[in-house]
Structure 1
């Protein structure tokens, strides 16, 4: 019997978005008779181990990324953290090299892990950020990122190639740098025709301390809200915990099927404007309100772009009040631009001799 080809799937641990958008890819690998091996760290790895308890899982070095408490210091904090990141990238490169020597790996799919690639096996980079927005240094951060992408065999972009699309200038270049393939709207969720249960679902994610700061602020604001609320904190822990406070159900985390049902049952979603959340809400055709992470140019760009297109309103964290949610009535919400992804064609890369 021919052995299954083993594909290393390595998402960045920066919130939960990179890990969750790898879930449909891991499922597609399994359905097409590949053997995925999960590789990440922190909550991203915890989440994937809960979703795929039977798959081999490898811990990679942590980039140790945290946000600043103030948005204006975001870029400075990233610069300060860059030596730690470079050290982690070097260490994960070494780990991948040793892994390829010690065991059979037939291909690599890296979602924004900059050191997870090899010239010895087909290596894919997943990113919606071909241009990396960083204010006045966008040209430099984009150039650095594009030079890293060139080390891979292909770049897979979770978006549509043409208009309408979700990533705008983030995921579209005037010239190809390596073979680029657009995956369409990739999400672990499906739209379900079920009855509404919640007026509002709050979805939190992202690095600390900003996640906790928003949690605390929103729970205070929600004391002025009369509708039925589901509040998902985005803290992946060993046990799921539920607390009910009047009209608010607070849960530390939910796995895919449970969260899919909850979002489908919700009228409005309140969350960060992280790109994976945008993909999920586009697939589920939801109405939403976005609060971008302070100082994170990419989330601010996405939120502003979707607002200008009349899809979802947004507001800065320091100006948000629960009464802002009424603005969603004047926006159309996401409508279906979903198209299916031809995974068998994409996975042909791993069949090359």
Structure 2
């Protein structure tokens, strides 16, 4: 691929932990292009597949997998992550070597890492993006948070996709009292726009996240929706080479959707049933949608966000094992998420790459 030498090349690398990190990078990739930068995409697994489908004309590179897996039992989530640590550290060290080579090979001028700790260089301005300045892990939260903050310090800037003041979307996740590194709150990021169009579906179910929990929830919901009378669109969150569509009674199933289809379907749906993943929350806020959350078992971040929005009277939730289709009726007594206007000054934000 030939690059225009007058344009700066930026490596953008989201973590492959479900689809959220990849999808929230989509507006950043578009903004880089609109501001005369050349993005190169780097990730692995379904995150890389998704971005390749969104930007087939851009250079894309494969990073080593962190091999993140969820436990079948949510109570074992932390233990499963601890078991994965040696493989994660190995992948981080490997991606650090790869990035070093790529900087020379592709003349990279800057880096945006979305939670990939090995995607960093002292030779070019490197930015770390996260909504978790505090990493919630139950009774070890203070250790994991301090460790994460220490790792962020090496980057030129830390971008938090949220609002600095109140109201905000991340609460204690994305806000700390004192930081010894530069934080920039860049507002809520979403790849979709709100549209006023006729409703086609009474309920949209959208799944995401690593296995086996994604699959476990899919199987549970397939049984629960038999008791739902309205029209359902069910997006499984499995990114494959070809899109698959299947209609069974009142349910239309898709394995995945691209951004344009997803935007249309979100707008065509009355209510949403989904995980309380942060990227989904940003999408729902942009669309001002009413929703019901089922946090991933054992994932403290999603459990915290689900509890936060329930306490604020915005979105109800249920634990995965406890969820019944009748719970959906609770949506009526909650306000739903609302949009907070924000206009990102991308030109100002990207000045970090001009230093």
Deviations 1:237-271 (A, max 9, x none): 00000000100000000000110010011111100
1:311 counterpart SS class? coil
Distance between the aligned counterparts of 1:221 and 1:78, measured in 2?
Answer: 30
Structure 1 partner of 2:186: 183
Q: Does 1:136 align with 2:123?
A: no
Q: Is the contact made by 1:186 and 1:341 (CA closer than 8 Å) also made in structure 2?
A: no
- Alignment gaps of 5+ in structure 1: none
Q: Does 1:289 align with 2:292?
A: yes
1:163 counterpart SS class? coil
Deviation at 1:2, TM superposition (A): 4.9
Structure 1 partner of 2:213: 210
Distance between the aligned counterparts of 2:42 and 2:286, measured in 1?
Answer: 26
Deviation at 1:102, TM superposition (A): 2.3
Structure 2 partner of 1:159: 162
Structure 1 range deviating more: 92-101 or 238-247: 92-101
Q: Is the contact made by 1:17 and 1:275 (CA closer than 8 Å) also made in structure 2?
A: yes
Structure 2 partner of 1:32: 35
Deviation at 1:76, TM superposition (A): 0.2
Structure 2 partner of 1:279: 282
Structure 2 partner of 1:300: 303
Distance between the aligned counterparts of 1:340 and 1:229, measured in 2?
Answer: 33
Please list, as runs of the form range in 1=range in 2, the aligned pairs for 1:90-101 lying within 5 A after superposition. Answer: 90-101=93-104
Deviation at 1:73, TM superposition (A): 0.2
Structure 2 partner of 1:244: 247
Q: Does 1:341 align with 2:344?
A: yes
Q: 1:229 aligns with which of 227, 232, 236?
A: 232
Deviation at 1:3, TM superposition (A): 2.2
TM-score (norm 1): 0.99
2:111 counterpart SS class? strand
Please list, as runs of the form range in 1=range in 2, the aligned pairs for 1:51-66 lying within 5 A after superposition. Answer: 51-66=54-69
Q: Is the contact made by 1:282 and 1:338 (CA closer than 8 Å) also made in structure 2?
A: no
Structure 1 partner of 2:174: 171
Distance between the aligned counterparts of 2:107 and 2:196, measured in 1?
Answer: 43
Q: Is the contact made by 1:272 and 1:292 (CA closer than 8 Å) also made in structure 2?
A: yes
**CA RMSD, aligned part only?**
0.8
Q: Does 1:50 align with 2:48?
A: no
Deviations 1:92-139 (A, max 9, x none): 011111112322000000000011010100000000000000000000
TM-score (norm 2): 0.98
Aligned length: 352
Distance between the aligned counterparts of 2:67 and 2:338, measured in 1?
Answer: 37
Distance between the aligned counterparts of 1:177 and 1:286, measured in 2?
Answer: 37
Q: Does 1:254 align with 2:257?
A: yes
